[in-house]
Amino acid sequence: MTTISAKLQAVLSRIETAARAAGRLPDEVALLAVSKTWPATRIREAAAAGQRRFGENYVQEGVGKTQELKLLNLEWHFIGPLQGNKTRPIAETFDWVHSIDRLKIAERLSAQRPAELAPLQVCIQVNVSGEETKSGVSLAQLAELARGVANLPRINLRGLMAIPAPSEDVAEQRRAFRALRDAYEKLQSDGYPLDTLSMGMSDDLEAAIAEGATVVRVGTAIFGERSGL
Ligand SMILES: *Cc1c(COP(=O)(O)O)cnc(C)c1O
């Protein structure tokens, strides 16, 4: 069986190759290791191999792991769906949230962010594929949401995130990522100081990097296939 350390190196080398192919520097693209469903022991393995940023999707599970691994001083990103009644543990625990899709949730996170912690770093999740069931704000409503989120005191709006509909067609993958990048550049030209474009996963990180991703969120290619969920 391939070790987490070897798989992590393989992912880093895919990132490097994709960045160079796009005329970018490899260190312009950060790797977020998505550890949802995997026990803390696997995260320790990845951390021992040098990985610092981890992404979690489920509140209770994620908070448990941050507590168990507190001494490692890792950076924790919440990337899953947000529910109004579960914002407090996120505000009290995570460094980043990628999945802001409505103002109410952002207001709660800002109000609940403890004063002794740095402001919560956030991305707005955008529904670039326009599917009814997917979470994320529509492109049409993005500007209004960005205005509201940027005004909150205990939150820093850093950028945008998307999970496009899966496609095996690279041109199609790139089209979706380009739509997110266009929205990101539009907000930058409107004056928002954004620096984070969170897009690309195990199967499409090359297309995302070609379109300007600054963070790729990779689970399966590092930890293996998730069972059950
Ligand atoms: C699970 C998940 C990922 C990682 O997906 P893989 O295909 O396992 O790399 C990335 N982003 C989000 C929001 C996820 O929920």
Residue 201 Cβ inside 6 Å of ligand 1? The answer reads yes
Q: Does domain 3-20+28-223 have CATH number 3.20.20.10?
A: yes
Helices (H), 69-138: 87-93, 103-112
Residue 162 Cβ inside 6 Å of ligand 1? The answer reads no
63 close to 93: Cβ distance less than 8 angstroms = yes
Distance, CA 34 to ligand 1 centroid (Å)? 6
Distance (Å, whole) CA 35 – CA 226: 10
Domain boundaries, the chain: 3-20+28-223
Tokens representing 109?
């996170």
Say what the pLDDT of residue 227 is: 85
In this structure, the residue with its CA closest to atom 6 of ligand 1 is 219
Say what the pLDDT of residue 104 is: 97
Hunting for tokens 């550890």 — which residue is that?
35
Distance (Å, whole) CA 209 – CA 24: 9
Residue 57 Cβ inside 6 Å of ligand 1? The answer reads yes
Hunting for tokens 């990779």 — which residue is that?
218
C-alpha closest to that of 98 among 178, 200, 167, 182: 200
Distance, CA 157 to ligand 1 centroid (Å)? 21
Say what the pLDDT of residue 2 is: 78
Q: What is the pLDDT along the chain (229 residues), one digit of tens a residue?
A: 679 999 999 999 999 999 999 999 999 999 999 999 999 999 999 999 999 999 999 999 999 999 999 999 999 999 999 998 999 999 999 999 999 999 999 999 999 999 999 999 999 999 998 776 678 999 999 999 999 999 999 999 999 999 999 999 999 999 999 999 999 999 999 999 999 999 999 999 999 999 999 999 999 999 999 986 5
Say what the pLDDT of residue 4 is: 97
pTM of the model: 0.97
155 close to 191: Cβ distance less than 8 angstroms = no
C-alpha closest to that of 70 among 109, 45, 44: 44
Per-residue b/e over 112-138, b at no fewer than 16 CB within 10 Å?
Answer: ebeeeeeebbbbbbbbbbeeeeeebbe
Residue 217 Cβ inside 6 Å of ligand 1? The answer reads yes
